[in-house]
Amino acid sequence: MSEKILDGLYYVGARDAERRLFDELIPLPDGTTYNAYYVKGEDKAALIDTVDPEKTEVLNHNLDQLGIKKLDYVIANHAEQDHSGSLPAMLERFPQAKVVTNKKCKGMLKDLLRLNEEDFFTIEDGQELSLGQRTLQFINAPWVHWPETMFTYLKEDKVLFPCDFLGAHFCSDPLYVEDKETLYSSAKRYYGQIMMPFANLARKHLKTIADMDIELIAPSHGPLYKDKRFILDAYREWTSDQPKNEAVLAYVSMHGSTKKMADHLQQKLSEQGIKVKAFNLTDLDLGQLAMALVDAATVVLATPTVLAGPHPAAVYAAYLLKALRPKTKYVSLIGSYGWGGKTVEIISELVSTLKAEIIDPVLVKGLAGNADYALIDQLAESIAQKHREGPCV
């Protein structure tokens, strides 16, 4: 269903309440939306982004509802197919329309969708495009979340279309969600999974947006924001380099020995005043882990040794840690082994690209005894001391 935002500006995107996985990786407990916007000036009309190819029919239906017979431009803020996948269908329906995007995005769209050079109108960073009494301005914003991404700004109406940036995988009927708590949580989950690896660039783009005159932020996933401070303040906190006095304890245990160590560490860290978020890696919600990683000063992986190395679930967690690049300052490892292996070496290598200090691991042969628990107590004290010195907020 198309929905009016302003005179001449309509939501024409698609809701996908049933989708439960994105990129075959990211859980979507609240579904998602692929937001697309139709904007009409006195002379020209443009579509800002399209929708996932699975939802092309919905986009076509929404344009039909508005009686759209002509389209001059399709703005491609991002080449990823959840926004670009319906471009071929739009070019087929509106053969006179040009895809407006930057040079890098054009190259990616040619590769991904086999579009042709003549399909494009290529713009530079900061360039404006008049629709007649309405102006679109394009702002390159690389790495939120691919290298070609850009924002589109509807100048006269002060509407920013930042594509993936500031979005949320949250499917709701109204375009504007008043429940700030729910929206905050969903946007944080999205940030942790998608934007956190690019926190430095996100900070830079936040500054750009903060200096702009904006009355409405219309991202490409989830609800729109009338109050830009809500989402910008949240992003400032999430992208800040200062962690909280929190620890993520991600564990997997085969016969209970490692779990006993993890439980003991959790108790000792809690006694030290550290908020511990524990995750069983065999029943992991990646989104919950990513949200916890947005804040945590310390991550401890707890794994048994199996097949001469860490449990594969712990390898997956370590790989996620490396890929998501959280602000984590300290990493450690605990676990039980039977007769040896290279658990410490393998995990250390996986997390070596993080700017985190590795605190001495505690690996125990078999079931932990009193001397081993004393080492875990020391580990908890060491983590608490580092959090105090950090300092954490």
Q: Count the site residues for ligand FEO by CB under 6 A.
A: 9
Query: Given the complex with ligand FEO, which of 5 and 26 has the nearer CB atom?
Result: 26
CB of 285 to ligand FEO, least distance (A): 20
Of 59-67, 76-84, 94-102, 322-330, the window that binds ligand FEO (rule: CB under 6 A) is 76-84
Phi and psi at residue 368, in whole multiples of 5°?
-60, 140
x/- contact string, 155-174, with ligand FEO (CB under 6 A)? Answer: ---------x----------
Q: Rounded distance, CA 132 to CA 171, Å? A: 33
Contact with ligand FEO (CB under 6 A) among 40, 55, 205, 221: 221
Contact with ligand FEO (CB under 6 A) among 30, 72, 80, 372: 80
Query: Given the complex with ligand FEO, which of 145 and 311 has the nearer CB atom?
Result: 145
Interface with ligand FEO, residue 83, by CB under 6 A: yes
Amino acid at 21: L
CB of 146 to ligand FEO, least distance (A): 6
Phi and psi at residue 244, in whole multiples of 5°?
-95, 165
CB of 274 to ligand FEO, least distance (A): 34
Query: Given the complex with ligand FEO, which of 56 and 220 has the nearer CB atom?
Result: 220
Q: How far is CA 385 from CA 201, 205, 269, 358, 380, in A?
A: 31, 35, 11, 14, 9
Interface with ligand FEO, residue 52, by CB under 6 A: no
CB of 220 to ligand FEO, least distance (A): 6
Residues 6+ apart with CB under 8 A from 14: 33, 34, 36, 51, 52, 55, 58, 59, 62
Contact with ligand FEO (CB under 6 A) among 40, 55, 106, 145: 145
x/- contact string, 279-318, with ligand FEO (CB under 6 A)? Answer: ----------------------------------------
Contact with ligand FEO (CB under 6 A) among 82, 148, 246, 295: 82
Amino acid at 169: H
CB of 81 to ligand FEO, least distance (A): 8
CB of 201 to ligand FEO, least distance (A): 14
Nearest to 383 by CA among 363, 357, 354: 357
Of 79-87, 125-133, 180-188, 271-279, the window that binds ligand FEO (rule: CB under 6 A) is 79-87
Q: Are 324 and 196 a contacting pair, CB within 8 Å? A: yes
Of 63-71, 74-82, 114-122, 197-205, the window that binds ligand FEO (rule: CB under 6 A) is 74-82
Interface with ligand FEO, residue 78, by CB under 6 A: yes
Q: Can you give the binding site for ligand FEO, defined by CB under 6 A? A: 78, 80, 82-83, 145-146, 164, 220-221
